[in-house]
Copies of this chain bind each other. A is one copy, B any other.
Amino acid sequence: MADSASNISEESLTLQPRFDADGLITCVATDAVSGAVLMVAHMNAEALARTVASGEAWYYSRSRRALWRKGESSGHTQRVLELRVDCDQDAVWIRVAQAGPGACHTGRRSCFYRAAPLGQTGTTVTLEFRDGDKAFDPKAVYGKK
């Protein structure tokens, strides 16, 4: 957090991740080529350890309650070029080489394919697609579930 009052982890050169009550830490994956944020997901201790050890992105799926190697179903793996931790060690940033056409299960390159134009003040905020074209057919890649 940019406003943390905690000084425990700020200058430490030991990884001391601050997992939340569910044992998870937030991970931001950016595309090493474009710089775009591809996805925001979670890691548990095992996923983080496997990612650091292997240089391949592992996550923890909250919906499936399972360790998850990115691309294990789709083939769209993520090779990690750099893994950083933030000042109070409750977030991880990985710069990845994204294999295949995209990271998002909807078929887009990035999970962030909609923007909220700024200046909207009403109770309903309208989105618009940005980079919203599908890069792959999720049904063909993931199959019917």
Give A122-133 as 1s and 0s: 1 = Cβ < 8 Å from B's Cβ atoms.
001111111000
Is A43's beta carbon under 8 Å from chain B? Answer: no
Q: Can you tell how many copies of this chain the complex includes?
A: 2
Specify which of B30, B34, B63, B120 is in contact with A3 (CB 8 Å cutoff).
B63
Give A104-129 as 1s and 0s: 1 = Cβ < 8 Å from B's Cβ atoms.
11101001111110111100111111
Closest chain B residue to A11, Cβ basis: B106
Is A37's beta carbon under 8 Å from chain B? Answer: yes
Those of A1-16 within 8 Å (CB) of chain B: 1-6, 10, 12-15
Number of chain A residues close to chain B: CB under 8 A: 68
Is A143's beta carbon under 8 Å from chain B? Answer: no
With A28-B40, A84-B130 known, 8 other A-B pairs at CB within 8 A are: A3-B68, A13-B128, A40-B86, A40-B90, A52-B125, A80-B118, A85-B116, A87-B104
Q: Enumerate chain A interface residues (CB-CB to B < 8 A).
A: 1-6, 10, 12-15, 26, 28, 30, 34-42, 49, 52-55, 59, 61-64, 68, 70, 80, 82-87, 90-91, 93, 103-106, 108, 111-116, 118-121, 124-130, 145
